[in-house]
């Protein structure tokens, strides 16, 4: 049965592999047999991820990329195709958040979150998707958030982008079938650099403990199974789906 989740011989392009969830995803995908192309802007951190994979006997390459730079996205995808002949799996994980009340938020700030958390995923899915469609194989996994289900004060750009990403996932599924699937993961609160301010807030911690059936923050490990499911052949008949991984945060009224 383990073969069902295997990524042996698969080439995976993973954005945001330098730290946080992306770093753990890179190690997970490599442990399942994939060659992981670790994309992001901070080359030093990407090299550290690739080295960590190498030490465990896995395969990884550093792929410097600002996902908001359309020309760079096109160029990197073409470079990868020339080198590896294919991208089997695209994990759109990179993302940013900006915390400010709507009345104080300049349009450019809102726009920058939409550019990084939604427009970039569209560009990558389009450029990579073209090759996947031609090869008649592909798995696209978009990392959304429980903020695609709930609203929350001070993160309007993030909430709008993550809702949009769930919609984009459905449309990718509609246009890319039958051989290319597109699904999303909506993680709850997982401890990373993205949410240090919340980790340090006593009231937020108390709320999270009460609101989740798991009574705790998530860890990057909690996403490993869902990620391997959607990146592998185990999910061949799933597409357009958003898998919520939140310890029960959005399903219970506590």
Is 158 designated active site?
Answer: yes
Among 7, 13, 22, 172, binds ligand NAP (CB under 6 A): 22
Q: How far is the CB of 86 from ligand NAP (least distance, A)?
A: 22
Q: How far is the CB of 4 from ligand NAP (least distance, A)?
A: 25
Residue 242 touches ligand NAP, criterion: CB under 6 A: no
Q: How far is the CB of 151 from ligand NAP (least distance, A)?
A: 14
Report the distance separating Cα 125 and Cα 109, nearest Å: 24
Residue 25 touches ligand NAP, criterion: CB under 6 A: no
Among 5, 6, 33, 41, binds ligand NAP (CB under 6 A): 41
- Contact partners, residue 209, CB within 8 Å, separation at least 6: 215, 216
Report the distance separating Cα 207 and Cα 115, nearest Å: 31
Q: Which long-range contacts (CB under 8 A, 24 or more apart) does 67-71 make?
A: 67/15, 67/39, 67/94, 67/116, 67/120, 67/121, 67/123, 67/124, 68/115, 68/116, 68/119, 68/120, 70/123
Which CB atom, from 34 or from 143, has the smaller least distance to ligand NAP? 143
Helix (H, G, I), strand (E, B) or coil at 85: coil
Report the distance separating Cα 225 and Cα 18, nearest Å: 20
Residue 164 touches ligand NAP, criterion: CB under 6 A: no
Among 14, 15, 212, 243, binds ligand NAP (CB under 6 A): 15
Residue 35 touches ligand NAP, criterion: CB under 6 A: no
Which CB atom, from 135 or from 241, has the smaller least distance to ligand NAP? 241
Among 73, 141, 149, 194, binds ligand NAP (CB under 6 A): 194
Among 35, 63, 76, 116, binds ligand NAP (CB under 6 A): 116
**Nearest partner of 46 among 69, 74, 26, 68, judged by Cα:** 26
The residues assigned a catalytic role are 158
């Amino acid at each position: 049965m383990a073969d069902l989740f295997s990524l042996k011989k698969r080439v995976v392009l993973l954005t945001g592999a330098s730290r946080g969830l992306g770093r753990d995803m890179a190690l997970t995908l490599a442990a399942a047999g994939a060659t992981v192309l670790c994309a992001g802007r901070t080359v030093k951190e990407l090299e550290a991820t690739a080295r960590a994979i190498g030490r465990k006997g896995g395969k990884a390459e550093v792929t410097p990329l600002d996902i908001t730079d359309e020309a760079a996205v096109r160029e990197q995808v073409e470079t990868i195709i020339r080198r590896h002949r294919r991208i089997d799996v695209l994990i759109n994980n990179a993302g940013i958040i900006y915390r400010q009340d709507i009345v104080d938020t300049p349009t450019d700030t809102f726009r920058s979150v939409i550019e990084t958390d939604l427009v970039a995923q569209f560009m990558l899915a389009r450029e990579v998707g073209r090759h996947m469609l031609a090869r008649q194989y592909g798995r696209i996994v978009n990392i959304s958030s429980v903020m695609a289900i709930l609203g929350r004060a001070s993160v309007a750009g993030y909430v709008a982008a993550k809702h949009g990403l769930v919609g984009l996932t459905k449309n990718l599924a509609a246009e890319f079938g039958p051989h290319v699937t597109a699904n999303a993961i909506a993680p709850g609160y997982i401890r990373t650099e993205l949410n240090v301010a919340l980790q340090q807030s006593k009231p937020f911690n108390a709320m999270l403990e009460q609101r989740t059936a798991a009574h705790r923050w998530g860890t990057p490990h909690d996403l490993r199974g869902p990620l391997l499911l959607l990146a592998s052949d185990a999910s061949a008949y799933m597409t357009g789906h958003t898998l919520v991984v939140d310890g029960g945060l959005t399903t219970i009224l506590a």
